[in-house]
Amino acid sequence: MTIRLLLVDDHAVVRSGLKMLLGSQREMEIVGEAGSAAEALTETERVQPNVILMDIGLPDKTGIEATREIKNKFPEVYIVALTIHEDEEYFFQMLDAGASGYVPKRAAPEELITAIKAAANGEVYLYPSLAKLLVRDFFGIEHMADQKINLDGLTEREREILTHLAEGESNDQIATLLVISPKTVERHRENIMRKLNLHSRSELVRYAIRKGIIKA
């Protein structure tokens, strides 16, 4: 399968460099580019990419806001953050917004290519140094540590849906895979979050990594 890529960055020189790097990959095709959040939304609808590389620092809105809007409107599209920001505030906000990966711009080209391929396969990719933030943050959450939560409190269906949610799949995608309605997925999601005392996607991903449900 050819991965259809949309590049979102407000610097033309960065987009040009990405096109040179990624355009040489046989399994990837650059189908569009955007320099703002508004353009990203328009181009996503026009070119229908599989994966979007999203910068956080955009001129009209943040890449976090753009990611949330795109995932709400186009849940089948996977988004990988490619940014200069490596602090945990942006990192967790992007995960909460629905991003499937987070790669700093200083990363080696091979890391970015790996992240894109992982996202296209519906997997979550976290740059190694940032994955450590996730683990550290997990152990810093007292209610997670104290309650000694285990998977035994979840039904078999809830465990299945937890895995799909942690891998970044949307309610609609999960519904299609499991042949159930999106409303049923949402109800299971609410039950999972309540039973595990989780409050956001980033907490859910942290939990899934800690329990070995997915790998960082």
| Residue range 164-207, pLDDT digits in tens | 887 777 788 899 999 999 899 989 988 888 888 887 776 787 77
Q: What is the mean pLDDT of residues 26-52?
A: 97
Do 38 and 83 belong together in one domain? Answer: yes
Establish if 73 belongs to a structural domain: yes
Do 27 and 113 belong together in one domain? Answer: yes
For residue 100, the domain's CATH number is 3.40.50.2300
* CA 207/CA 214 separation, integer angstroms: 9
| Residue range 52-111, pLDDT digits in tens | 999 999 999 999 999 999 999 999 999 999 999 887 778 888 888 889 899 999 999 999
Establish if 40 belongs to a structural domain: yes
- Secondary structure of residue 183 in the 3-state scheme: helix
Residue the block writes with tokens 């890391």: 111
Which pTM does this prediction carry? Answer: 0.66
Establish if 132 belongs to a structural domain: no
The residue ranking higher by pLDDT, 134 or 116, is 116
Burial of 87 (0-12, 13-18, 19+ CB in 10 A): exposed
Structural domain harbouring 203: 141-210
Task: Give the chain's domain count.
Answer: 2
Sheet holding 3-8, edge to edge: 28-34, 3-8, 51-54, 78-83, 101-104, 125-126
Establish if 175 belongs to a structural domain: yes
Residue 40 pLDDT greater than 80, yes or no? yes
β-bridge mates for residue 53, sequence order: 7, 80
* CA 98/CA 209 separation, integer angstroms: 16
Domain boundary among 127, 157, 191: 127
For residue 162, the domain's CATH number is 1.10.10.10
Alpha-carbon 206 to chain mean position: 13
Q: Which helix (H) or strand (E) holds 143?
A: helix 142-147
Domain boundary among 103, 127, 151: 127
Establish if 50 belongs to a structural domain: yes
